[in-house]
Structure 1
């Protein structure tokens, strides 16, 4: 059973829904890479509205329906594991924003 207690890191990646890696959705390929590297877990969040470097507002409003909504992918793990995957993340994310923050893990465990 995997446990994380105390200090950790959260890696956040801000990209667009249509971003690709090897002709496949980037968010899905990032999740697969996290799984392959035994990260504690990861989640993809779809934004309903946002803008990035190009300042184009992307929205899920019915009149402005965007096919490239903003996504945020998060994974939390130990500093060592986050640092180990960072070179691959930098390689895969051609456009977007990547951040790392300190977190305090209060509880991370699964029932047996």
Structure 2
């Protein structure tokens, strides 16, 4: 995102922890592709319990079923950038849930965006 606040889309992809893409965790492939596409950021959250289309409940409380917990990859960026990324998900996500929601970004800033901290050139920002 170029602006520090404003209207955006939140893309959420829910897959299984054990889902893979070419021997790599699927959630990791999604994050790396989002990074390569120049999206503002991506975070992965591991669920402790859930069920999906299979109706099988996965939970961290039972040893035998705690092996394939749900994970959610959340990406927030401008609508055009998120929509441009969606075709890549069509290739990757065969089982899971993909949602897009409108949201409002209140603050989006990195360490160099705080007043009085060095920016990427080593200069202090005002």
Shared fold (TM-score greater than 0.5)?
Answer: yes
Distance 1:63 1:42 in 2: 29
Would the aligned equivalents of 1:45 and 1:71 in 2 still touch at CA under 8 Å?
Answer: yes
Q: Deviations over 1:6-29 (max 9, x none)?
A: 110000001000111112110000
Q: TM-score, normalised by structure 2?
A: 0.83
Structure 2 gap ranges (5+)? 113-126
> Which stretches of structure 1, 4 residues or more, deviate above 4 A after TM superposition?
62-65
The DSSP-based 3-state class of the residue aligned with 2:11 is: strand
Compare the two structures and name the one with the higher strand fraction.
Answer: 1
Q: Does 2:24 correspond to 1:44? A: no
Q: Does 2:115 correspond to 1:97? A: no
Distance 1:66 1:97 in 2: 20
Identify the structure with bigger relative contact order (alpha carbons < 8 Å, sequence gap 6+).
Answer: 1
User: Whose Rg is larger?
Assistant: 2
Structure 1 gap ranges (5+)? none
Q: TM-score, normalised by structure 1?
A: 0.93
The DSSP-based 3-state class of the residue aligned with 2:52 is: coil
Cα-Cα RMSD: 1.5
